[in-house]
Chains A and B, each alone.
Chain A
Amino acid sequence: MLLVARKNLFSEWTRLVISVGGVALSVFLISLLLSLYRGWDEKVGGFVEHSNVDLWLGSEGAEDFLTAASLLPTEGKEAEQAKEYLNAYPSIDQWSPMIVRLMQGVRVDRISATEEKIGSKIDIHFIGFDPNTRLGGPIEVIEGRDTPGPGEVIIDEKLGDRHGIGIGDTLRAGGRDWTVVGKSRGGDFIATQTVFVSHAEAQAALRMQGATTFYVIKVRQGVDPAQLGAALEDQAARNEAPIVTHTREEFAKSTRDRVTSNVLPILFVVLGLAFIVGVSVAGLTIYTATIEKAREYGILKAVGFRNTYLYRVVFEQSAVTALLGFAVGIGLTVGIGPFASDYVPQFVLFTRWQDVLLVAGVTVVMALIAAYIPVRRLGAIDPVSVFKG
């Protein structure tokens, strides 16, 4: 680093702290928002992506897991035809019905035989799965039993953490009281968490006898789920019972898009504002420092330093400011990431190294823009001015 750049930068600590702080704040905001976006993206699509379901079959218009806007028969002529077809299809390894319903539940504490304490309302994704195939069931059971019996549920660990519900506690949902017998991982949708019961129990509780939300399918090894899905859609169309199918990847993506497409425009605006804050603070401090030292830059010109040397001085100051700001900003994001959701459950941060590189690139752009105006000013300094008193 050039002597003048280093000395100018580190001889005024207040100015350095302000400019580094400005860049750090900007980098922190940008990386935090990106990490938040990634965290949400990971969580919202995670359940579908990590489930054992290769192909999701729903009624027409069912495009994602969150809204679960699907209703299919499990009884009757049409259902029997479908079951026969699914059983006979050689590419299908396993299939089963699955119920998904977005609803509210509450924790119930029984104080006595007649008295109970009702907790606050909890948004849940109530899932009925087939315990035999386990398709669409808990991704990983981390505590308690892995199969719920009658009147029993397995809850997502985040639901338990957030609302203080443990094994043996009672959760009221769908008009029934359920005893928690297990905890699972991987079913956190940020705003909601999964609660698993058997499919039969879900049908009964939700009065969905003869109906289900999805048919979930596991294909045999080497089978392309997309091709199978297309074949199933053709078959259903021929029987005038239109359905839609989604591969795991498609369904995960559309589930993510349901949430993030609404968040993205806001995110971009805030990212833009954070970038402007960073450029403004760094740019202003470097510009004022340059103006204050205009005479010294004039001296350097007078004694034989070229403009390119002066530009380098300013760029180095800007680059080091940006580098320090970047280190502080990214450090804060990475530092608070693991603990943020402990205090604010919705604050799920997931920092990817690719995003760190992206923010580094943004910081470089910030440094270049912050240095551009001062550099233009330097070019205009007349070295003759240093002869004037």
Chain B
Amino acid sequence: MSTVLRMTQVTKTYGGGDAAVHALDDVDFNIEAGEVVVVMGPSGAGKTTFLTIAGALLTPTSGTVEISGVNITALSEKELPDVRRERIGFVFQSFNLLEALSAIENVTLVMTEGSPKSRGAVNRASELMNMLGLGHRLKSLPRNLSGGEKQRVAIARALANNPDLILADEPTANLDSKRGREVMQLLRQIAFEMHKAVVIVSHDHRTREIASRIAWLEDGTFRPDVATDRDPVCQRVVEVQGSPAFSYESRSYYFCSTQCLELFKADPAQQLAGKRQ
């Protein structure tokens, strides 16, 4: 298996002096083709910084980032857009489709750089969209698509240039559980069958089901052997140690915040029943 993304001793510091904030602190991270790695962690842990550095959108303060063997930290600012377009596919939380473009145009756009569409691009986009179950939605505008359909169009766009690396930022956050599960299965399928490296940043505990491994990011570093559990109120994955906790019917529950804890305490049975639904 080949390493698609390799981050070595990556540090990102915002500000300077006493006010310096280390969003990422000496991080090492690798992912290989065919793997799905879910990056989890509390808010402010540095997940977005990690994703934007891995996505060649942000330059680290120090360290190196290699994508498919190319050291992108050695490239100039002008060279990075080509890396993003050709080597990385992005899947965003809020789909981020262009509203004036049809579903298929959103996909062909990244292949043709927005020039008049070529037959080859249209064929590939149609193929991808058929594969993702959107064959009947090619000409639909994003406003006429459901959340799940939009996210599948976004996945097709991410795959359009056949990149080695897919970076997904909270891909299920705006979807109901059924659609969210479908999207996760798609991402898993993409990694396993299309031999892509898929990095998912998520709070959604369901993403663990498809993960080859889970990386817990906290205070700008990946922490090994972190025990996690799911907040029964908001369904977020939380670190057991240090989180507000509550025992109910001989089981300990952990919460992302005191608000979730209080909600649970007010009516544990109902919260657990809601979770089961």
Which A positions have Cβ atoms within 8 angstroms of B? 2-4, 7-8, 11-12, 295-296, 299-306, 309, 313, 383-384, 386-389
Contact B113 A4 (CB under 8 A): no
Query: Using a CB-CB cutoff of 8 Å, which residues 83-117 of chain B contact chain A?
Result: 83-86, 88, 90, 92-94, 96, 98-101, 105, 109-110, 112-117
A304 and B110 in contact (CB under 8 A), knowing A7-B100, A299-B96?
A: yes
Contact B114 A305 (CB under 8 A): yes
Choose, from B50-58, B63-71, B207-215, the stretch at the interface. Answer: B50-58
Contact A7 B94 (CB under 8 A): no
A303 and B114 in contact (CB under 8 A), knowing A3-B101, A383-B57, A387-B51?
A: no
Q: Is the interface of A mostly helix, strand, loop or mixed?
A: helix
Report which of A3, A12, A383, A387 forms a contact with B109, defined as CB distance below 8 A: A3
Report which of A3, A4, A7, A305 forms a contact with B85, defined as CB distance below 8 A: A305
CA distance A184 to B4 in the complex (A): 89
Find chain A residues with CB under 8 A from B100 CB.
4, 7-8, 11-12
Find chain A residues with CB under 8 A from B52 CB.
384, 387
Instruction: Give the nearest-CB partner of B55 in chain A.
Output: A302
CA distance A269 to B258 in the complex (A): 67
Contact A303 B101 (CB under 8 A): no
Find chain A residues with CB under 8 A from B157 CB.
303
Find chain B residues with CB under 8 A from A303 CB.
84-85, 90, 110, 157
Least Cβ–Cβ distance between B276 and chain A, in angstroms: 28
Can you list 12 A-B contacts (CB < 8 A)?
A: A11-B100, A12-B100, A301-B81, A302-B55, A303-B157, A306-B81, A309-B113, A309-B114, A384-B48, A386-B92, A387-B48, A387-B51
Find chain A residues with CB under 8 A from B55 CB.
302
CA distance A300 to B112 in the complex (A): 13
CA distance A11 to B100 in the complex (A): 6
Find chain A residues with CB under 8 A from B58 CB.
384
How many residue pairs between the two chains, A and B, have CB atoms under 8 Å in the bound complex? 76
Contact A299 B98 (CB under 8 A): yes
Find chain A residues with CB under 8 A from B114 CB.
2-4, 305, 309, 313
Instruction: Give the nearest-CB partner of B80 in chain A.
Output: A304
Find chain B residues with CB under 8 A from A7 CB.
98, 100-101, 105
Find chain B residues with CB under 8 A from A301 CB.
81
CA distance A383 to B88 in the complex (A): 15
Contact B109 A302 (CB under 8 A): no
3 pairs of A and B residues whose beta carbons are closest in the complex = A304-B85, A304-B84, A7-B100
Find chain B residues with CB under 8 A from A300 CB.
98
Least Cβ–Cβ distance between A296 and chain B, in angstroms: 5
Q: Could you mark each residue 103-143 of chain B with 1 if its beta carbon is under 8 Å from any beta carbon of chain A, else 0?
A: 00100011011111100000000000000000000000000
Contact A305 B96 (CB under 8 A): no
Least Cβ–Cβ distance between A8 and chain B, in angstroms: 5
Find chain B residues with CB under 8 A from A296 CB.
96, 98-99
Least Cβ–Cβ distance between A118 and chain B, in angstroms: 68
Instruction: Give the nearest-CB partner of B96 in chain A.
Output: A299
CA distance A386 to B84 in the complex (A): 14
Contact B81 A295 (CB under 8 A): no
Contact B81 A305 (CB under 8 A): yes
Instruction: Give the nearest-CB partner of A298 in chain B.
Output: B96
CA distance A299 to B86 in the complex (A): 15
Instruction: Give the nearest-CB partner of A1 in chain B.
Output: B116
Highest count of chain B CB atoms <10 Å: which of A3, A302, A303, A388: A303
Instruction: Give the nearest-CB partner of B160 in chain A.
Output: A303
Contact B93 A389 (CB under 8 A): yes
Instruction: Give the nearest-CB partner of A5 in chain B.
Output: B114
Find chain A residues with CB under 8 A from B109 CB.
3-4
Find chain B residues with CB under 8 A from A11 CB.
99-100
CA distance A304 to B57 in the complex (A): 9
Find chain B residues with CB under 8 A from A295 CB.
96
CA distance A228 to B118 in the complex (A): 74
Find chain A residues with CB under 8 A from B101 CB.
3-4, 7
Highest count of chain B CB atoms <10 Å: which of A4, A7, A300: A7
CA distance A11 to B85 in the complex (A): 26
Contact B115 A302 (CB under 8 A): no
Find chain B residues with CB under 8 A from A305 CB.
81, 85, 113-114
Instruction: Give the nearest-CB partner of B84 in chain A.
Output: A304
Instruction: Give the nearest-CB partner of B105 in chain A.
Output: A3
Instruction: Give the nearest-CB partner of B48 in chain A.
Output: A387
A4 and B98 in contact (CB under 8 A), knowing A304-B84, A305-B113, A387-B48?
A: yes
